Amino acid sequence: MSKKGNLIIISGPSGTGKGTVCKKLLMKNKNVFYSISATTRNPRPNEKNGREYWFTSKSDFEKMIKENKLLEWANVYGNYYGTPLDKINDLRIKGIDVLLEIDTQGALSVMRKISHGVFIFLLPPSLKELKRRICGRGTETKAVIERRFGAAVGEIELGKRYDYIVINRNINHAVEQINAIITAEHCKTNNNLKILDRVKNEEI
């Protein structure tokens, strides 16, 4: 039987590069499944329902909360975002790693619920560069940019609660580091106790 897949949580302030890094990681590592979140925010011009997000009405989102269909949810910069529970366990039992790209409130809520997640904080190289990236993306209004950037210092403060900090200066380097973390987590003693026993008890 294959080992259970890990739950990998990547978070960090808006504009640090989570989406960009996750897309590259998924191309590199085919054993990772990206959990598509539900959100009440409007799609950006290049976004498709069921690819970046499940775009949902406020009432449908609140129904999912009531029916306990979300692993976690948060109100992020004025909109609801949440991780649907369905699929996550089935995939992990099949040995597939599940990747959540969520905000820091969501990550803290998963930390409270699950002790065995792999929590990775994606840090921008500087606040100046973070601002350049949020503005450069060109998808938000000035007011939304200010709101997101205004939350960044508080979110960075939470980085110390994570298992790993990866600096996203160079995209390829950050992706390599995250992939190395994923590989190392598979070699953790706790994830290999069954195989250890099997080899030890093998009849020869």
Site residues for ligand 5GP per CB under 6 A: 11, 14, 18, 37, 41, 72, 74, 76, 81-83, 101-103, 105-106
Nearer to ligand ADP, 170 or 183 (CB): 170
Rounded CA-CA distance 128/125 in Å is 9
The region of 24-32, 69-77, 129-137, 188-196 touching ligand ADP under the rule CB under 6 A is: 129-137
Residue 68 is classified by DSSP as T
Q: Which entry of ligand ADP, ligand 5GP, none binds 83, CB below 5 to 8 A by partner kind? A: ligand 5GP
Nearer to ligand ADP, 14 or 177 (CB): 14
No. of H helices and E strands in the chain?
8, 9
Exactly one of 6, 7, 9, 18 binds ligand ADP (CB under 6 A); that residue is: 18
Cα-Cα end-to-end distance for the chain: 21
How many CA atoms are closer than 13 Å to the CA of 159, on its beta-carbon side?
17
- Which residues inside 167-186 make contact with ligand ADP, applying CB under 6 A? 168, 170-171
The region of 57-65, 92-100, 153-161, 166-174 touching ligand ADP under the rule CB under 6 A is: 166-174
Residue 135 is classified by DSSP as H
Side chain identity, residue 96: I
In b/e form, how buried is each residue of 132-141, taking b as 16+ CB within 10 angstroms? ebbeeeeebe
User: Least distance to ligand ADP from the beta carbon of 183, Å?
Assistant: 21
CA proximity to 98, closest of 39, 161, 31, 179: 31
Exactly one of 5, 8, 16, 39 binds ligand ADP (CB under 6 A); that residue is: 16
